[in-house]
Structure 1
Amino acid sequence: MVTDASPSGRPGTEDSPGTRARTGLLVVGSFVVLLYLIEILNTALFHSLNRTFGLRPRSLDGILDILTFPLLHSSLAHLMSNTLPLIIFGFLVFLAGRRVFITALAASWLASGLVVWLIGGASVTVGASGLVFGLFSFLLVRGFFNRNWWQIALSVVLFMAYGGILFGVLPTVASFVSWQAHLGGAIGGVAAALLLSTRRQQALPPGR
């Protein structure tokens, strides 16, 4: 017989909504704190880290920069502009589960970096805005893939509150920022939502 018990002996408490919410705040909050610590160090070094670890499009060594460029920012104001949406969207995604959060974040991170590497401009790209767009797009579309009315209702609320940022994927509108990072992040978020959709999971053969 298999029981759903937590290490403390209380069934279900390990993954209860309250526990998941607290863990989500801790994980997302810790990530944001890490971004600020990096920005403080980067500022002290006159943002020299950007030249070393920022994403350089279409250069072979720039491929490794995909792993680091969202951790860096051009200024404290740049980081602050990403902070609140990153916390809100990251927390809401984490409420769906740790695996969902990791998948959505990783897909947004990698897709954002790949698009910048392939079609980015000549300048070095830094910033977590691709992650913001990825998590946001994930939240916008997952309800439609899952046919979940609660998730669709949340996506409508989020669209009404933050939908304007989607113009950031257009080069004519976002010419002063990396629209490529925004577009790539959004693509990654949609891909993650499709990959994790409950309908797709139910359609997979047993054991997959």
Structure 2
Amino acid sequence: MNELPERRRARVLPEKPLRSAVGMLGFLVVLWAIELVDLLLPTLRLDGAGIEPRDVDGLDGILWAPLLHFGFGHLIANSVPLFVLGWLLLSGGVRQFLGVTAVVWLVAGAGTWLVADGGTTHAGASGVVFGWMVFLLLRGFVQRSAGQIVVALVLFFYWGGMLWGVLPGQPNVSWEGHLFGALGGLLAALLLARRSRPRSGRLNG
């Protein structure tokens, strides 16, 4: 009799924690290097390459916006959650990390481009932060992993207040990027749920 393959146990922490930490640090180094160039060479106006809502010329900002920040204070605010959430996301493997990030990145950018006020420019990695956060809050329930649910509860206790950032009202804050980043995380979790759904199969005896 051929048995169906056993379902892979969901990991709580990255399989290679140090390598994952180095990878996230590398990503942060890139963001800090971009902001340093923007500071030293202001004529480049890198921030101007962000998302410009409903402007065709601003469509490419969907790709660049998460890499750009309005000053080091903006970048510092995003750096710690980017590192922690990204490191935890890597517990699902590099493939899951890239897939979730791509969904969040595109949904956050496209949603902001469609609904944000015209004449504004949106940049920053906070949309990615919100997407990763929502995905990690839901992943444990999707994969029925007690360990991942515990991690989600800790994240919600520590950073759950950030989710209020999806609501309008804070001046100079792209709530649209936060909202659609969170929706991107939800979509990624739903896609994971669909992929994780057990398939029916036959046993050959």
Normalization by structure 2: what TM-score? 0.85
Q: Does 1:135 pair with 2:132?
A: yes
Quote the offset at 1:203 in angstroms.
4.1
The question of 1:196 aligning with 2:175 is answered: no
Q: CA RMSD in A?
A: 1.8
Report which stretch shifted further, 56-65 or 33-42.
56-65
Distance 1:56-1:37 versus aligned 2 partners, 3 A rule? same
C-alpha distance 18-84 of structure 1, shift in aligned 2 (>3 A): closer
Q: Does 1:78 align with 2:64?
A: no
Measured against aligned partners, the alpha-carbon deviations of 1:83-118 in whole angstroms (never above 9, x if no partner) come to 000000000001111111111111111111011100
1:23 lines up with 2:22 in the alignment: no
Cα distance in 2 between the residues matched to 1:21 and 1:194: 26
Match of 2:145 in 1: 148
Aligned to 2:34: 38
**Deviating runs (4+, > 6 A) in structure 1?**
none
C-alpha distance in 1 between matches for 2:172 and 2:59: 23
Conservation of the 8 A alpha-carbon contact between 1:142 and 1:194:
no
Q: How does 1:1-208 map to 2 (within 5 A)?
A: 20-46=16-42, 48-51=45-48, 53-121=49-117, 122-172=119-169, 174-197=170-193, 200-203=195-198
C-alpha distance after superposition, 1:68-97 (max 9, x if no partner): 011110000000000000000000001111
SS at match of 1:126: coil
Size of the aligned set, in residue pairs, is 187
Residue-by-residue CA offset, 1:136-181 (whole Å, 9 max, x unaligned) = 1110011122222111111111000000000000013x34300000
- 1:191: how far off? 1.0
CA offset at residue 21 of structure 1? Answer: 1.5
TM-score, with length taken from structure 1: 0.84
Shift, 1:43, TM fit: 1.0
Identical aligned residues as a percent: 41
Q: Which has the higher contact order (CA 8 A, sep 6+)?
A: 2
Runs (5+) with no aligned partner, structure 2: 1-12
